[in-house]
Amino acid sequence: MQRLILLALLVPLGARAGELRLGADVGVWALTKAASQAPAFSPSLTVDWAASDVFSLGAEAGLGGFAEDNDTVRQRTSAQRLALRVDARIERNGLSARLGLGPGLALVHTRVQPVDGGDYRGTVLRPGLRLRSEVGGRFSDALGWRLTGGALGHGAGVDWDAGVGLVWTLGGAS
Amino acid sequence: MVRKTALFLLLSACTPDYDSVLVYDYDGEGAHTVRPVQIPSLTDPVRVSGPLGDATLGGRIAFGDEGLRWERGPRVHLDYAVDDGVLVPMDDQGMVLLSFYHHLAAVRDDLGGRGWQADMDAIFPLTTFAWMPSQVTTDYLAVENAAYVSAGIHAFVLYEEANLHVPLTAHAGVVRHEFGHAWFAERLPQVDSPDDSDIEVDDSRSLNEGFADMVAVLSLDDPDALPIEGRDPRDDHSLAGVVDGDPYSLGVVLAGFAWDVRLILDDAPRTLELVILALDEWNAGVQAELLAPVSLAWIIPFYDLAAAETDDPALCEAFRQRFPGVDERCSD
């Protein structure tokens, strides 16, 4: 079943089997708050598969969160980001660039603990559209680097992120 | 039918029921506790909106020779979850904005129930309460925290301040102080439009600031209501310490005397009534050229109103201590 789904995705792109890349990034994720944005340290992982010389399919997951405490209350907000993308890509002379778009989702959790007692929790889903870009290069055939920048637009606003990471390439030679 | 049911279920899943809202609630003596409260007038928590007005983000306020100019920002979109019937905002800014609305609703309901419903109907809804608008100032009124913007704009502007035990905009006393400015502008619209008034804005600013302090302190019946150093009405502020050009330095003296009267009458609600009556009499006296068009002249009708309530000599003693050199009342 999974192969059929993959083929259904690839055939319209004129795809052929290519490289599989695993990426790990660290950076900042500016999460949308009620009235501004909160920058959060954000590690993320990506998997993408080169469907052709000019397209790849990607999936990513990222984490973020921030704390807001004062004398009256402890409040913790954490979030996970999930997205699927189709990327346009180009690679020349060891440098590459990608620009991708796809559905995304942020799960945002909050925990509020007043110092005088009580414990309140909740989770909201923020489905939206994920846009991501990257530029990078290779240290070797298998190992490369990249700089990324992206945005997740959803009903509550736009989350921005930027990072730097390493990519490990398996197979393919596109 | 199936579609309608599915749509209903989807909408229900997106807007879970809640019966209370998690906010910074006031405990008195300057203390706050985060707890669930009911806010019936909060009709749209996502927009932090209701009959009091609605919240906006940013925007721009410019102070210039042509007066105040306001550019409204976009509306708030506040994410929240519901935990056991309690609306829990997803971040502290959400809780601050909801707390501001809660405190504003509380003072509106409180004063409306004390016979000032017509005033409340005139004040609300506000044009907006704006979170962190940018500002361009030329020569006066640099806003660093919460503020009321008069001159026909009729809005609150809210800024972050992290030096308190709760965020500034979530502080009940601060909200009531700013509300006091809106009430002042409502009762004295000609002061708010200086071109049509015998009273210069600068000459009424001390009374405006003092009045706002009185509203906060007397409506909560709490001398600890204002979390700002130097604004405790129990301190020995007197006319001897007033600094020219600083409206707060005279404002605290006026508010201090109002607190003296509250202690003598042992009645905060009645004292607030006298404050309002004195404001009206001061305004009428200025228009009739019986009183000087300056903030300090407000103490004359206020003293007379208080003296009609009590023959306690402490009233005169308090007057002499607060206003040395003023011989219109209580002179030997």
Cα–Cα distance, B278 to B305 (Å, whole number): 7
**Closest CA–CA distance from residue A33 to any residue of chain B (Å):** 6
Q: Is residue B52 scored above 60 in pLDDT?
A: yes
Question: What is the average per-residue pLDDT within B106-118?
Answer: 97
Coil/strand/helix, residue B234: coil
Q: Is residue B108 scored above 80 in pLDDT?
A: yes
pTM of the model: 0.89
The closest CB to that of A122, out of B24, B83, B93, belongs to B83
Q: State the pLDDT at residue B140.
A: 43
Q: How many CB pairs under 8 A join A and B?
A: 97
Q: State the pLDDT at residue B228.
A: 87
Please answer whether residues A79 and B91 qualify as being in contact, where contact means their C-beta atoms are separated by less than 8 angstroms. Answer: no
**Share above pLDDT 70 across residues of chain B, in percent, rounded to a whole number:** 86
Q: State the pLDDT at residue B203.
A: 75
Closest alpha carbon to B83 in A34, A114, A72, A104: A114
Q: Is residue B139 scored above 90 in pLDDT?
A: no
Report CA-CA distances (Å) from B177 to B56, B150, B159, B172, B207: 21, 14, 15, 9, 13
Question: What is the average per-residue pLDDT within B57-83?
Answer: 86
Please indicate whether, in this complex, the C-beta atoms of A121 and B94 are within 8 angstroms of each other: no
**DSSP state at residue B74:** P
- For each of chain A's 174 residues, which pLDDT tens digit applies? 566 555 555 444 444 457 899 999 999 999 999 999 999 999 999 999 998 889 999 999 999 999 998 889 999 999 999 999 999 999 888 899 999 999 999 999 999 999 999 999 999 999 999 999 999 999 998 999 999 999 999 999 999 999 999 999 987 543
Closest residue in chain A to residue B163, using alpha carbons only: A70
**Closest CA–CA distance from residue B204 to any residue of chain A (Å):** 34
Q: State the pLDDT at residue B165.
A: 81
Residues with Cβ within 8 Å of residue A37, at least 6 apart in sequence: A30, A31, A157, A159, A160
Point out the least confidently predicted range of A44-53, B142-151, B234-243. B142-151
Please indicate whether, in this complex, the C-beta atoms of A120 and B22 are within 8 angstroms of each other: yes
Q: State the pLDDT at residue B197.
A: 53
Question: What is the average per-residue pLDDT within B282-291?
Answer: 92
Return mean pLDDT, chain B.
88
Question: What is the average per-residue pLDDT within B218-238?
Answer: 95
Residues of B near A (Cβ–Cβ under 8 Å) read: 22, 24, 32-35, 48, 55, 57, 76-83, 86, 88-95, 97, 131-132, 162, 164-167
Cα–Cα distance, A6 to A24 (Å, whole number): 24
Q: State the pLDDT at residue A55.
A: 92
Q: State the pLDDT at residue B137.
A: 58
A127 touches chain B (CB under 8 A): no
Please indicate whether, in this complex, the C-beta atoms of A110 and B91 are within 8 angstroms of each other: yes
Residues 137 through 156 of chain A touching chain B, CB cutoff 8 Å:
155-156
Question: What is the average per-residue pLDDT within B250-266?
Answer: 98
Q: State the pLDDT at residue A2.
A: 61
Angle between helix axes B172-187 and B201-220 (nearest 10 degrees) is 130
Q: State the pLDDT at residue B8.
A: 47
Residues with Cβ within 8 Å of residue B137, at least 6 apart in sequence: B63, B143
Question: What is the average per-residue pLDDT within B110-115?
Answer: 97
Point out the least confidently predicted range of A123-132, B54-63, B123-132, B258-267. B54-63
Cα of B323 vs its chain's centroid, Å: 25
The top-scoring range by mean pLDDT among B70-74, B135-139, B143-147, B271-275 is: B271-275
Please answer whether residues B130 and B147 qualify as being in contact, where contact means their C-beta atoms are separated by less than 8 angstroms. Answer: no
Question: What is the average per-residue pLDDT within B207-217?
Answer: 97
Q: State the pLDDT at residue A89.
A: 92
Please indicate whether, in this complex, the C-beta atoms of B89 and A124 are within 8 angstroms of each other: no
Question: What is the average per-residue pLDDT within B13-17?
Answer: 64
Q: Give B3 or B172, the one with higher predicted confidence.
A: B172
Q: Per-residue pLDDT tens for B158-211?
A: 877 756 688 889 999 999 999 999 999 999 887 665 555 555 656 788 999 999
Point out the least confidently predicted range of A16-20, A163-167, B71-75, B287-291. A16-20
